[in-house]
């Protein structure tokens, strides 16, 4: 759950005067690329690449959630005690969480934007408990009897178990089910929105003409979408276009 002391990102004064439909049409990656261009003309595209990686890991987490559910179903059908495949799927799911957190921190630090950092603080507890769970899986041997970190477990006998949608270890209970994926989507969406708001704010302050260009393109996208909704027949399949062309040539 998000922290209650930190609020979701709010738009800047620049965007408060822009129709919401246009704001929603803005792309965080394009806006960040423009911000980097005016703030770091030396070509420091690291934050842009990291933002793409963040979205990629979210899509991987989504796929992994399906793999976890399949592994659980297989385990129930076979009545097998071999839970290792399930934990392997959970491991990579948690890696996706950890990579999203690290990429988000990189973006916040590299850009020095204010809003992305607030989003990371808002979801700090949810991110950290899954990063810790990933660490447990990656250093499992250290928690075994005789291991160097066994004493860190509040319940040493709880090495690794599944209880429904929850992974348990050492007395800790971590949701890794569908609800956790919805939470991750919330985190990623808020983070992308925060990057968008700060990027537009930075571009508007440094290069108003460039900011106006971003808004014009978003406005054009909205207008095209409205036209296509009112006149869906304007878009036809490649086969239909070929037929139309043939008929016209006869």
pLDDT tens, position by position, 177-226: 999 999 999 999 999 999 999 999 999 999 999 989 899 988 887 877 77
- Quote the number of domains for the chain: 1
29 assigned to some structural domain = yes
237 assigned to some structural domain = yes
CA distance 227 to 15: 24
pLDDT tens, position by position, 15-47: 888 888 888 889 999 999 999 998 876 668 899
58 assigned to some structural domain = yes
61 assigned to some structural domain = yes
4 assigned to some structural domain = no
Bridge partners of residue 169, in order along the sequence: 172
Residue 18: which domain range? 13-249
206 assigned to some structural domain = yes
Mean pLDDT of 160-169: 92
Q: Which pTM value belongs to this model?
A: 0.83
Percent residues over pLDDT 90 in the chain: 52
5 assigned to some structural domain = no
Mean pLDDT of 234-241: 51
- pLDDT recorded at residue 249: 40
6 assigned to some structural domain = no
pLDDT tens, position by position, 104-113: 999 999 999 9
């Amino acid at each position: 759950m998000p922290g209650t002391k930190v609020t979701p990102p709010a738009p800047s004064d620049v965007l408060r005067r822009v129709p919401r439909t246009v704001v929603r049409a803005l792309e965080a990656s394009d806006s960040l690329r423009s911000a980097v261009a005016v703030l770091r003309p030396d070509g420091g595209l690291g934050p842009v690449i990291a933002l793409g990686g963040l979205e990629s890991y979210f899509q991987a987490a989504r796929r992994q959630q399906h793999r976890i559910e399949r592994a659980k179903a297989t385990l129930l059908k076979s009545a097998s005690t071999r839970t290792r495949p399930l934990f392997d799927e959970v491991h990579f799911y948690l890696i996706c969480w950890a990579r999203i957190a690290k990429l988000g921190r990189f973006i916040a630090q590299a850009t020095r934007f204010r809003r992305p950092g607030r989003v990371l603080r808002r979801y700090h507890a949810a991110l950290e408990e899954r990063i810790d769970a990933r660490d447990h899986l990656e250093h499992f041997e250290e928690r075994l009897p005789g291991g160097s970190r066994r004493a860190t477990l509040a319940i040493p006998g709880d090495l690794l178990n599944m209880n429904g949608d929850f992974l348990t270890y050492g007395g800790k209970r971590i949701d890794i089910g569908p609800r956790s994926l919805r939470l991750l989507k919330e985190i990623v969406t808020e983070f992308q929105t925060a990057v968008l708001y700060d990027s537009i704010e930075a571009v508007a302050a440094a290069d108003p003409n460039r900011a106006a260009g971003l808004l014009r393109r978003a406005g054009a996208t909205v207008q095209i979408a409205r036209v296509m909704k009112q006149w869906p027949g304007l878009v036809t399949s490649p086969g239909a276009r070929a037929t139309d062309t043939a008929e016209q040539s006869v």
